[in-house]
Amino acid sequence: MAAKADLAGAVLFAWMVSCGTAAAQDSSADLAKKLTNPVASMISVPFQFNYDRGFGPEDGNRETLNIQPVIPISINEDWNVISRTIMPLIWQNDIAGPSGHQFGLGDITQSLFLSPKQPGPGGLIWGLGPVFLIPTATDELTGSGKWGAGPTAVALKQQGPWTYGMLANHIWSFAGEDDRVDVNSTFLQPFVSYTTPDAWTFTLNTESTYDWEGDQWSVPVNFTVGKLVKFDKQPVSFTAGLRYWADAPENAQEGLGFRFVVTFLFPQ
């Protein structure tokens, strides 16, 4: 009887452990899927590193670390304002011919999305608000020298493991250095991702910019693979992938680059 009791206890313990593991996987998968939603009600702090090359006749290169905190602000029981900040820290070399090396901040892009807390009809998730360009660059070759503003919007759906949608904005400059080129640009980011039950996420997107002043596109296509893990109770996502410049202005970046992202999540 004692042996049978020990066996039953071992089976029960194993079942409880497996249930706990499954629950943890579900929780991690849910967080990984929320991370694919740009207006999710969750604080996240991505550190996104990008490497690009092929600038000008000197084959210049640029490394950019984008620090991108996303902070939801609850304004009532139905609505959030989602703050999304992109602060670039830039290392670059010979991006404009033999222009030497620059290191410092780029211009900050600040977006604010008014977004309902619950999906709308058909499961549509959306956000709408202003975007601002802030001339924080520490070198004229790392920023525009202009203040800018315009509208931004995002719309997406999440069905099963899939997330798909688009984020867009348009920025016009309204002040800044008189001898710098005006900013008049449209940004389009269509995206699709697939999240597995064990919190792997596969994402394909473009981050296309159309410069209306120069009449030219910049179109990097990104494919990334991410995995959400937990250190004690702290969820962290690690993402890596390749980017290919399908189109870019003359003497700008070209060919293959790569991306690596570490994102700290703080579920509410």
Domain ranges of the chain: 2-267
Q: For position 145, what pLDDT does the model report?
A: 96
Burial of 105 (0-12, 13-18, 19+ CB in 10 A): middle
Q: Which residues, at least 6 apart from 203, have a Cβ–Cβ distance to it below 8 Å? A: 36, 191, 192, 193, 194, 222, 223, 224, 225, 226, 239, 241
> pLDDT tens for residues 84-112?
999 999 999 999 888 889 999 999 999 99
> pLDDT tens for residues 199-256?
999 999 999 999 999 999 999 999 999 999 999 889 999 999 999 999 999 889 999 9
In this structure, what are the phi and psi dihedrals at residue 215, rounded to the nearest 5 degrees? 55, 55
Q: For position 56, what pLDDT does the model report?
A: 85
Please say whether the structural domain 2-267 has been given the CATH code 3.30.390.50.
Answer: no
The secondary structure of 66-87 as a DSSP string is: EE--EEEEE-SSSEEEEEEEEE
pLDDT for 2 beyond 70: no
Residue 47 banded pLDDT, cuts 50, 70, 90: very high
> pLDDT tens for residues 179-196?
999 999 999 999 999 999
> pLDDT tens for residues 150-163?
999 999 999 999 99
